[in-house]
Amino acid sequence: MSSNRRFEGRSVIVTGAGSGIGEATARAFAAEGGLVTIAELDGDKGRAVCDAIVADGGKARFVETDATDEASVRAMVEAACAAHGPVRHAFNNVGAAKLGSLEELSLEDWNWTVQISLTSTFLAMKHEIPVMKANGGGTIVNTASMSGRIFTPSAPASYSAAKAGVIHLSHYASCTYARDNIRVNSVLPGLTATPQIASMFTLEQQAEVASHHQMIHRCVQPSEIAAAVLFLSSDEAAMITGRGIEISGGGAHAS
Ligand SMILES: NC(=O)c1ccc[n+]([C@@H]2O[C@H](COP(=O)([O-])OP(=O)(O)OC[C@H]3O[C@@H](n4cnc5c(N)ncnc54)[C@H](O)[C@@H]3O)[C@@H](O)[C@H]2O)c1
């Protein structure tokens, strides 16, 4: 367990916490004393991460959540507050893509990607912000992507546009709620070694992206995204808001 306990006794929400970046970040918050709500659609994964945190001496609660459904998100925020006190930190992390060129993309797949990658971020903030406003403030970090900032050939148009939306929505919220002592930032991961990426790209394809499009020729590790999220959420980042922080090994600047 970490000796640095920046989130001791604080109520924290992590969405999509059952795998990959969300799992690593939920574990990192709990290791620093956070009271973590594991908001996850997949019950088996969510419960497994929750049990692992508790087994490690941390505090966590699993709340089955569909981040694209408003009633589910509202209930999740209420459950987080009831279990751990008013939400102080949120990491809104759910997002995904279906591959296909712009011409091939069906409207159904476009809508699915925008719902899961952008609408989920809106719904989470919509229900987290009133709690933070009423309780003296808080921090929000949303997961965007490098492909929301620059052209990434491997990412579909739907996903890139949705993640650009996450970056701007985060900035919009930061401007609106700074007066309420709420800071809002986004993280922009480069190719990160998670189960989602393993299901979409072979190891060879991942190595190709890392070596051709980054200064540092390897995939990002989920723990490296978690470290940035915890910093942005911590009091050390008290004067950082409205930023989109790239964690990508110098992504896209090398070529
Ligand atoms: N892995 C990368 O290279 C990479 C790069 C840039 C951005 N991102 C973004 O990082 C975030 C996390 O990605 P990851 O690679 O860790 O993915 P992952 O698939 O490993 O984890 C995502 C988790 O979200 C859960 N989830 C899916 N739909 C949900 C819903 N509707 N409600 C609640 N939970 C839901 C999944 O069950 C899963 O546990 C996503 O927003 C993704 O777009 C990932």
User: Cα of 179 to ligand 1 centre, how many Å?
Assistant: 31
Instruction: Provide the phi-psi class of 13: left if phi over 0, else alpha when psi is between -120 and 50, else beta.
Output: beta
- Catalytic site residue from 7, 29, 91, 159: 159
> Does the CB atom of residue 23 touch ligand 1 within 6 A?
no
CA distance 253 to 47: 39
Domain boundaries, the chain: 11-243
Cα torsion through 224, 227, 231, 233, rounded to 10 = 110
Q: Are the C-beta atoms of residues 202 and 240 closer than 8 Å to each other?
A: no
CA distance 113 to 79: 27
Any residues with CB less than 8 A from the CB of 142 and at least 6 apart, and which?
Answer: 91, 92, 93, 121, 124, 125, 166, 169, 170, 184, 185, 186, 187
Q: Are the C-beta atoms of residues 166 and 144 closer than 8 Å to each other?
A: yes
> pLDDT tens digits for 16-48?
999 999 999 999 999 999 999 999 999 999 999
The domain 11-243 having CATH identifier 3.90.1170.50: the answer here is no
As averages over each run of 10 residues, the pLDDT of the chain (255 residues) reads 83 98 98 98 98 98 98 99 98 95 96 98 99 98 97 93 98 98 98 91 88 91 98 98 97 58
Q: Are the C-beta atoms of residues 58 and 23 closer than 8 Å to each other?
A: no
Q: What confidence score (pLDDT) does residue 253 get?
A: 54
Q: What confidence score (pLDDT) does residue 201 get?
A: 87
> Does the CB atom of residue 49 touch ligand 1 within 6 A?
no
Q: Which atom of ligand 1 is nearest to the CA of 22?
A: 16
* Shortest-distance Cα residue to atom 1 of ligand 1: 192
Q: What confidence score (pLDDT) does residue 196 get?
A: 87
> Does the CB atom of residue 65 touch ligand 1 within 6 A?
yes
* pLDDT, mean over the chain: 95
Structure tokens at 61: 């609660």
> pLDDT tens digits for 214-250?
899 999 999 999 999 999 999 999 999 999 999 999 9
Would residue 159 show up in a list of annotated catalytic residues for this protein?
yes
Q: What confidence score (pLDDT) does residue 212 get?
A: 85
